[in-house]
Amino acid sequence: MSEINDLRDWQARLQDLQVRYTAAIDNDQLEAWPEFFTEDCHYRITTKADFDEALPLGIIYATSRAMLRDRVTSLREANIYEDQGYRHVINPPLITESTNEGLRSETNFMVVRTRHDGDMLLFAAGRYLDLVVFNGTTPQFAEKTVVVDSNKIDTLLAIPL
């Protein structure tokens, strides 16, 4: 019974991390977004086809928290893109592996994008493939691979997924 309670505790922590992560994006608190990651993290958005072919790069690719912070700074100060917002719908995470590094998990997601004129559309669907490590009791993403199901990627992919 102890193992079941431990598993439920880890799943609850992972779910809380995912919920806080998507809330930061959905509520335009992008400056908080990099803090969900370790300093030497890997973040990548890729298509299912490219993932299945084991192609290493992605639509967005970062290898440190500093790169994620730079992305937020660019979004706020340099990039010009249509005003829009996201709303994530996520499943509870599925723990797929426990290693010495941390926990690997898979979480399905859908993102609805609302444009400045009020139009809403299903912007992306896919899964998060994560390696989560625990700094004390605080979980952080060491790796987050966002695998979108479609090869058709909107050019307005500015905000992280």
Q: What is the predicted pLDDT for the residue at 7?
A: 73
Q: Are 151 and 52 in contact (CB under 8 A)?
A: no
Rounded to 5 degrees, φ, ψ at 40 are -105, 40
Q: What is the predicted pLDDT for the residue at 78?
A: 77
Q: Where are the domains of the chain?
A: 2-148
Beta carbons within 10 angstroms of residue 55's beta carbon? 11
How deeply is 139 buried, as exposed, middle or buried, from its count of CB atoms within 10 A (0-12, 13-18, 19+)? buried
Q: What is the pLDDT along the chain (161 residues), one digit of tens a residue?
A: 455 567 788 889 999 999 999 999 999 999 999 999 999 999 999 999 999 999 888 888 999 999 999 999 988 887 666 778 899 999 999 999 998 889 999 999 999 999 888 899 899 999 999 999 987 778 999 999 999 998 877 666 778 99
Place of tokens 């431990």: 6
- Apex CA 34: angle with CA 69 and CA 97, to 5°? 140
Query: Regarding the domain delimited by 2-148, which CATH topology (the fold level of the hierarchy) does it fall under?
Result: Nuclear Transport Factor 2; Chain: A, (3.10.450)
Distances (CA, A) of 55 to 9, 37, 64, 69, 153: 34, 23, 20, 25, 17
